[in-house]
Structure 1
Amino acid sequence: MTFNNLLQMIIAALFFMVFTFCTWYEGSEILDRPLEWKYSTHFTKVDDDQALDANDISNFDHFVYAAKFKPLFPFFMVLAASYLIILTGYILFKRSIKKMALFLLGLGVLFLLSTGFVSNSTTVGGNIFTAFFLIGGMIAIIGAALYYFRMPTGLHTEV
């Protein structure tokens, strides 16, 4: 791994950690909104007949709430995580065109599948993440095709 790649990894990881903390902090607003517990607590199962205290809400539900209603930091968090994943794939597979193309294809399919999970949301954050995962998935799949079918160096002919 080159120094440039290591520096990119460190900076992206730092951004990811800062955005994760900001997302968690903004999502902690769910503790003050008991009417939203039924719809935004996917990790803490809340039923109509189950009485909960704010202390029972899982920390992961803070991220769900933030992504739904305050999507700026969750968006940046997912963007930083995506960059880290792509950079890791590049570092691991840069010597193999087929493996790198397959990696990008898998990431694109994962993004498109993620679109299905958030596409039915009626919140602003849901719409933002639907668009991000859809566009990101298409870009990754197109990138995989371009990477796979690129002309190898040394075979270019001048006309």
Structure 2
Amino acid sequence: MYKYIVQLIVASILFVFSMLVAWYEGSAIIEHSYEWKYSTPFSSFFEIEVVTGKEIFALDYFVYAAKFQPLFPMIMLITLLYIMFLLIVMLKKFNHSVATIVTFLCCMMLICLALVVANTSTNGGRLLLLATLLGIIFFCSVYVILKKRKSRHINE
């Protein structure tokens, strides 16, 4: 269990670092008013009218960074998926059913993310979509493995 906790701490530190860098890179949207219409879905969702750039919702910074500076948003996604996988492995040791449910929820979360970024026209968006699809394949495989092992234990 100790080795999982160390990995979880290291992955969390990497996630926070990449999140801060992506947030900084995404703040460049304030200076690019021509992108406000296309890269501020959260501001639009919450019906925030962007006039000067200071009104832009903070999550929109990540959208802009993912579209135009995709390295750190990709690191964020990969470390988040790794953290979720570690949590599932740890959960499996205590409660197999809960681990299976969490894995299913990860699959659904990734499918929703894939639907959101499916219509992207930038290279960064395409990379994010590719990473999301690979994550879906991985977590769906983990889900199937967990379901098979659970049914094997029930049949024995």
For the residues of structure 2 that align with 1:51 and 1:90, how far apart are their CA atoms? Answer: 43
> What letter corresponds to residue 55 of structure 1 in structure 2?
K
For the residues of structure 2 that align with 1:83 and 1:143, how far apart are their CA atoms? Answer: 13
What root-mean-square deviation, in Å, do the aligned CA atoms of Structure 1 and Structure 2 show?
Answer: 2.2
> 2:121 maps to what in 1?
122
Q: Is the 8 A contact 1:31 1:54 kept in 2?
A: yes
Structure 1 length-normalised TM? 0.82
- Give the SS at the match of 1:44: helix
Identity of aligned residues (%): 29
Shifted more, 118-127 versus 90-99: the winner is: 90-99
For the residues of structure 2 that align with 1:22 and 1:57, how far apart are their CA atoms? Answer: 18
Aligned pairs for 1:1-159 (under 5 A) are 2-45=1-44, 52-150=51-149
For the residues of structure 2 that align with 1:51 and 1:120, how far apart are their CA atoms? Answer: 23
> What letter corresponds to residue 39 of structure 2 in structure 1?
S
- Give the SS at the match of 2:120: coil
For the residues of structure 2 that align with 1:142 and 1:88, how far apart are their CA atoms? Answer: 16
- Give the SS at the match of 2:44: coil
Q: Deviation at 1:135?
A: 1.8
Number of residue-to-residue matches in the alignment: 149
Shifted more, 127-136 versus 14-23: the winner is: 127-136
Q: Is the 8 A contact 2:81 2:135 kept in 1?
A: no
In structure 2, list runs of 5 or more residues that go unmatched.
Answer: none
Displaced runs of 4 or more, over 3 A: 95-99
Q: Deviation at 1:51?
A: 6.2
Give the structure with the larger helix fraction: 2
Q: Deviation at 1:95?
A: 3.6
Shifted more, 128-137 versus 18-27: the winner is: 128-137
For the residues of structure 2 that align with 1:55 and 1:71, how far apart are their CA atoms? Answer: 23
Structure exhibiting the larger radius of gyration computed from Cα positions: 1
For the residues of structure 1 that align with 2:98 and 2:57, how far apart are their CA atoms? Answer: 38
> What letter corresponds to residue 135 of structure 1 in structure 2?
L
CA change 1:41–1:122 in 2 (3 A) is same
